[in-house]
Structure 1
């Protein structure tokens, strides 16, 4: 389904948009498919079809190629389309904490450049995704989904680049592969709340980088311990903790800590500040800090008592954010329910700049943290930042406004209101005129000459109305590449509807268009005719000065092209006989069974079309005539058409019989 959607988008819009965008055409098509597939996409996606040039929220580009899709916590809903696997340059894919459903596309492992994959906290189903071949993958989190129960997937033993593996609250069963613990860069394994069982054997080649193995609440019955591993192993909630184990520390949870880590605050004594202010560690004075919470999703350590680790983070923040030393306060560090390292952050204005940050400083710092331009020390790993609102001062500089200034502001506001009212009235008038024009352009507004009522809209059987814009879109603006024929009526174009149906669109040229009443009569006639040897009418368009008929598409073209050998399909005697019989059946239906009967009056080999099975279908009723014309009171069977078409009819009929 995702591939079909992509092909349709490329067919209908790709040729128009790609040439003027700064996004690679392949990536742009994929992201447009995402916009069609997902609900609750960011508003910025609606402003332009150029994801990189218009800076779509959540999309990161390098040299016109998409390198990161950061949609964590965006409340997206829908399925993950397989087209995502076509973005070969993708390095980071974060879809965690959304409402995505359905299976993970099987071609996701085509993303061989990806180094971070996070699909946690969704409602994904089906098999655990196969990540084999993602040889650059460092971080992967598939927690809290509804995958089918399975053994540990094979890629647990093949992706040597892994640093963090998280798959909690899942359906893993069986034994943890021993080879997983030997990956040279591996730092964390978090597989708690699964159904892993048997003996845990970490082997003799444990990675020297491995800091944490969290296997809480599984079914592990015994452990083969390796004396070389001295870091954190958590087995709480496993049967092994009730049957006896030599190192009981493995069956105890590490306590959380809420101690502050800002060294400067220790020198401020017991001084306190009002509730809406904080104590600046650099001056021990009260000020208005820029506050927020840092969430580190995969730190490489579990020990929160090592103050030097947090000193390094504190120093990194003030240096990379351009603040003065000591202006950073880190407090309340602990591992939350999602097992993220959560830290309360306060940033204070520099000494001499008053108690507040100005707006440009807040915007700069917020951009660095929220868009992850700031990079923390490597041991903290990937993060995200949620800021608290900043309370800017009501008055800057401590001065009050004079009466003259207030009067001037009031007068300016009054003028502005009058201007806005005028603009509003103008917009309302323009909208009313536009709606009136649209109403007048509706296809059923008038069908008779001089706007006279002719009995309302046409009575159709099986045909539908198409808008001009819909047919223009599915033919790529009636491009020459989609032109498949022409005649006295006008040109014929190949098009693909939004449903995927391929059709032939007959567009009347200016000199051959009929009056509204005549066109209505014709489509009513064509919509009543249904036979397997007649080309069926799918619909019509009658707006914006256009008259178009939409027919089913005949892939093998005209009988004339097939008789002349242009199509490359040999017509033996049996096929010719079948075509002749099919054509005769179609004409017989028109003459005898149609209600009222119809004389075609322009039968020739170019008006007999062949479908994919070489079934003959009579086409072009544009010159048809009802057998009983009550308006004129006589029967007409005169052959119609140009002299050339009538002559070619007799020549080709002879060829058909004797060819």
Structure 2
């Protein structure tokens, strides 16, 4: 029952659930204290409460007396106090207590020899590293970074381990007070040690342990099917089983997306064969019938994988498929959560169950090509049935939330399918985008706002995209949805986010954009992303976003006012080039009448984000190009830091502040033109680009012919100002917006 926004305190009465095996309530809003009565559950193997708010609570000592516990995970729960003695848990394999406020020394009693992972990083722990960590034969990760541990590091941590070719040992001891290594500093080939931020790094002979970590924590291992030279591809209408008893066994597999929600290890490779044997035994299949085509660690950490299940090898027949009853049996075991995996692998989640064309039978509608919403509901129901008493006890906490969500889903399901068709924009089906995001799994979510959620997805052709999904009651309605599609289908500029396509079916409204790997400017300015932006990057971001807005104001015909410029609507690509996004509130300028005159103004309802809205627009309801200039000025102010870079005798930050303040003048006539903003930023950038950022020079390119022909701003031409009309109204539908030449 993780990720359900359950709030309140954990009821001590839960200890009466005698048959509960997996207790997962991570990623909720739980508060209060941790009931010591939970230790009385006789069959509990996984206790996982990550990312909750037990502010000031301590870890009960009784948790050290749960005889069946295999995994204890209490990451990021605001826990305080000391770590209890856990040496009496005989089979504990995974201990995760990171990102709390735990203090005092680490207990010195020896932990279970089954333990694979110890993560106590990001706490306030003191004292030395216990010697008992040196005698743990299955240890994969010892993570103690960002504490106040002192003294020496015993080389027995790695010298007492004999690692085979597929085993790894990771020791992260960064940012402590460790002063030396006692014993040999020679590590086995598969072991890594990180010591950055310790006094020990002053020792030149150990400085190679003090570099930044470059290991990609999302480890992906992909296996590909292979055939021998004796196999004849043309004779196989399906594919050759890579693990078959025969090199040329041709068969059509079932395709399954699968996730381990609480694995008891950090490295899957040493446990892969055990998992294959365990899963096939549970499914009553031979091991050679299972092939793990890929697996990847995901946030949690959880382990996602794609499986292929092949029918039994039979060289006496030409049968290459599972029969219907076998397909139904296997599918029901996955969807009904009826696979009793070893406790080491924890509980699991079915992502999808895909039937290739060879298995499709129109007379059997129950065999679908992918898992449907109904199937997902069945999975959830099966999980709840398995913990019926648990649900009953906490139902009072979540009833109202679920009731509200039920009505929202019901309303969407009853919505009729839209007939929206827009030329030059790809229309995706709901199924395509569900497959791209693993059925909109929470671990593919990369953002959320008033409109709904944003997911990272991979399309069938391998293109990585961002998918923005409107939710019931969102601030983005049908009008804004159409506006963004029809605007972005005609706007093409390197500093505007590109629209890949959209989905408008099954009551869902989704927009598919190019994926911007560095997220939003707001993410970087808020500290969500730890690495700070250099001044050169900030300047490049300001310039490239300004150029995107300049394109809207001067090269679009008719010009367009964005109306919602803010840090969260400026996205950054892999090179930190800024692109303006979210055109749901944008407006077209009014079209001239038959005599060529443009109306003085159009009264509009004020829309935008508080803090970024032009005060003059707010008071008069007259939207002009200077309204975007004001909003951009607020973004400039956000970009400023305490840095004081000096170049050619000028304080660049002060020059930048002057520009930002000019953009934010209350009177529109006092604000500069957008072309003046771009030119000023280019001047500042040229002063820095020689020695600070070679990419900045690229952004300084300008076309003097174009800038010289840029028309004056609306506030400078009172006889013929740019004013606004609603872009999602009849003018847009009738084709007012022409195709704009890409730049």
What TM-score comes out, normalization by structure 2 length?
0.37
What TM-score comes out, normalization by structure 1 length?
0.41
Greater Cα radius of gyration, structure 1 or 2: 1
Greater relative CO, 1 or 2 (CA 8 Å, sep 6+): 2
